[in-house]
Chain A
Amino acid sequence: MTGPLMERRVGEVVQSTSTSFVAQCYQLEGAPALGGLVRTDSPDIYGVVGSVTTEPLDSARPVLARGEDAGSEEEVIRDNPQLARLLTSRFEVFIAGYVEDGVTHQYLPPRPPLVHSFVYACDQEETARFTSQLDLLRLLLNSGASHSDEIVGACIRQAAPSHDQPADFLAHACRALAVELSADVARLNSILRRVAP
């Protein structure tokens, strides 16, 4: 049990608010995909990856282009092994709910995750279980992110393959979305186009 869980550990919370948190990846470029479902421990807080950033650790030392003479991109990394230590990947997660005493609540937890909590990417089974309810869509739509439509679309796309009947899940999710966005057909339409198989 510890093994697979260890494998799915992708980072650690470094900044936390009631609605979102930022996690730093252990591996450069090791962030989960946009829209992917992640979880922190104790309590189990779930969230959807809303943005991924890779930047220099020291903001005073901007990254410089180094590949002018290199034959390939791999060569750049090989010739500058220090790069992995100077850069870091972070991802922002919008909180989508939490599980307490085995009960899933798709609304904001009373307290945000603790800083330094480990962040795990959810496996298929966990994703399917958590997305069997779709109240999280409303949290994502109202996340305040400038690209919240993209996050919602990506979330639905990411979650679909985890379900036994992906097509049914898609249809169900789109109807739920239609109910949430019943007063704004233009926005609904744009998300539907992102989700359509």
Chain B
Amino acid sequence: MTQSHEGNGAGRGRTPPEQGQPLGMVIEGSVANGVEVRLDPGVSVEQVKVGTFVTLHGANNRFFGVVTDVSLGSTDPRMKYTPIPADDPFVIQALQGTVAFGTVSVLPQLTMPEVLGDDQGPAAAKSIPSHFSRAFTASQEDVETVFGSEADGNFWIGNPLDMETKLCLDLGELVKRSIGVFGKSGTGKTFLTRLLLAGIVQSGQASSLIFDMHSEYGWQGQDADKGGMVKGLKQLFGAKVSTFTLDEEHSRRRGVSTDETVHLGFNHIEPEDVELLRASLNLSEVAASAAYNLREKYGEESWLKEFLDAGRNGSLLELADELQVNAGALRALYNRMGRFTRHGFMVEHSRVDTAAQIIEHLERGQHVVLEFGRYGDDEAAYILVSNLLTRRIHRKYVEAKESAMGGAGKEPRPLVIVIEEAHKFLNSGVASQTIFGIIARELRKYNVTLMVIDQRPSGIDSEVLSQVGTRFCCLLDNERDIDAVLSGTSGSRALRSVLSRLEAKQQALMFGHALPLPVVVRIRDYGPAFYESIQGGGDSEAERKRKVDELFGG
């Protein structure tokens, strides 16, 4: 009888409902500061790490929390002045856990349903467990209850610290708000982003548009640590992903085929773009605003072309006179724009509307990676192209959403726009002007969200940052960056200590909208095993349904 029961348990590959390893008991605390747990004599402080999940079994509730601090305590304040024979294991054994003990600070975040599997899910903790409640390390099931399991369609992103449990993310929730991926250079931001994008592509919860500054997401990316290449989204998902490139030659040199080559006409550039490029082109305010005068004179379509022609013909002075702008400023604008428009992807007039092309792909449920090739290092090019395209896509989405609200069309498919070096678009100087600032602030309503990837979050406008719903934070050590990332988060003092102790690779602190509580995750490997799991899975249920709907007009 017993044997067959055990056999069944093993067959399902699930552990019986257990409570993890006992840690100790609650001795004091408050809702604001969390509770102190005194460790049992057998438990060494070294076993308990900051960021570990803990369940606290109160009299009527079970609480789920995170270890925020580990400290050493003593029943006798004079102990530290008493000479103790530290080399005598007998004495040490007697003192440890009795007179000298470890305590951990636990921040109870959630109350868990008494019976696992109840319909009622975890809820935010509004109280703390009573004195002498027992504390346990969280079991696999607890973690699954809180974060959801892979079986329920969530995306496995990694493991909690010191646990083999799969930590999952609800991608549907994730893409509802803007996402931030922060971390110092070389801490794995790109790998984490690639992983998230792979999850989004696979789940079919949203389309994505990736402004791929360093050509890392499309066909293949570089693994600087192991040396060698890893597969990009195109390799993993084939037709689901379309790659656009600004620099066909660069793609060809790398032996990568792309679906479309992007050309931008002068007619697509607007004075607002010039305004945005002011910092990277080193233009004065006067020079940048001259672009508005030019548009007024020559019209929307051809102002830049006409202006550059006038410059080439040497009639800049007259033009300055006519427009009543400073001649020096106009010359500066001419020089910078002249240099800028010599980029290979700029053409005098482009009839192909790249933005429309991209939208078409997105509407088909595809994901678009725009590779910048060698222009990736050109900040101005990156800012201009991403802004220009995004502005037009934004316009389309707003229209589509408004007509859907009026009952005249279907809801636009959620879109995630991925930008790197986000502080260049979203710093407080330009955030109010760039389209990305607008998207970050309000476009959630129009089904468009941002995924910003940045190593200097302190450079991002605080108003924009506050709209970033879910944040993934790899190691950061600059105080201001840490402040920026944690701004507006409850319990940021505790998170700060967690954040500064992350390992330099493959670890991230995740918190915000899509997560019930902040969590440190050891990000899963992006390698053959991952490819297997992603490709083996095929379309998700939602994606299949969507395709059928699309085919048969359901």
Contacts and interface: CB of A to CB of B under 8 A. Distances in A.
Contacts of B95: 178, 185, 188, 192
A182 B76 contact: yes
Given A179-B98, A182-B99, A192 B82 contact: no
Interface stretch (A28-36, A49-57, A169-177): A169-177
Contact of A178 (B78, B83, B99): B99
Given A185-B78, A189-B82, A189-B84, A174 B90 contact: yes
Contacts of A182: 75-76, 98-99
Contacts of B98: 175, 178-179, 182
A184 interface: yes
B543 to A, nearest CB: 60
B90 A186 contact: no
Interface in A180-197: 181-186, 188-189, 192-193, 196-197
Interface string B78-107: 110011110010110111011100000000
A174 B93 CA distance: 9
Contacts of A178: 94-95, 98-99
A103 B41 CA distance: 29
Contact of B90 (A179, A185, A188, A197): A197
A189 B91 CA distance: 7
A174 B91 CA distance: 8
A193 B91 contact: yes
A144 B387 CA distance: 86
B41 A175 contact: yes
Nearest to B76: A185
Contacts of A181: 99
A174 B90 CA distance: 9
Interface in B93-135: 93-95, 97-99
A186 B94 contact: no
Given A182-B98, A183-B75, A186-B78, A193 B85 contact: yes
Contacts of B78: 185-186
Contacts of B91: 174, 189, 192-193, 196
A172 to B, nearest CB: 10
Contacts of A189: 82-85, 91
A174 B97 CA distance: 12
A185 B76 CA distance: 6
A169 B194 CA distance: 58
A167 to B, nearest CB: 9
A179 B75 CA distance: 9
Interface string A161-173: 0000000001100
Contacts of A175: 41, 94, 97-98
A108 B453 CA distance: 73
A185 B91 CA distance: 11
B367 to A, nearest CB: 62
A78 to B, nearest CB: 45
Interface in B322-349: none
Given A185-B99, A189-B82, A189-B84, A177 B94 contact: yes
Contacts of A188: 94-95, 99
Contacts of A185: 74, 76, 78-79, 82, 84, 95, 99
A178 B94 CA distance: 7
Nearest to B101: A182
A155 to B, nearest CB: 16
A196 B88 CA distance: 9
Nearest to A176: B98
A126 B78 CA distance: 39
A171 B95 CA distance: 10
A12 B215 CA distance: 98
Contacts of A183: 75-76
Contacts of A177: 94
Nearest to A180: B98
A19 B500 CA distance: 59
Contacts of B90: 170-171, 174, 192, 196-197
Contacts of B85: 189, 193
Contacts of B88: 196
A169 to B, nearest CB: 13
Nearest to A170: B90
A193 B90 CA distance: 9
A178 B79 CA distance: 12
A192 B88 CA distance: 10
A192 B76 contact: no
B96 to A, nearest CB: 9
Contacts of A171: 90, 93-94
B418 to A, nearest CB: 57
A47 to B, nearest CB: 25
Nearest to A190: B82
11 contacts: A171-B94, A175-B41, A175-B94, A175-B97, A175-B98, A178-B98, A183-B76, A186-B82, A189-B91, A192-B90, A193-B91
Interface of A: 170-171, 174-175, 177-179, 181-186, 188-189, 192-193, 196-197
Given A171-B93, A186-B78, 6 more contacts: A174-B94, A175-B94, A175-B97, A179-B98, A185-B99, A196-B90
The 3 A-B pairs with the shortest beta carbon distances in the complex, nearest first, are A174-B94, A178-B98, A182-B75
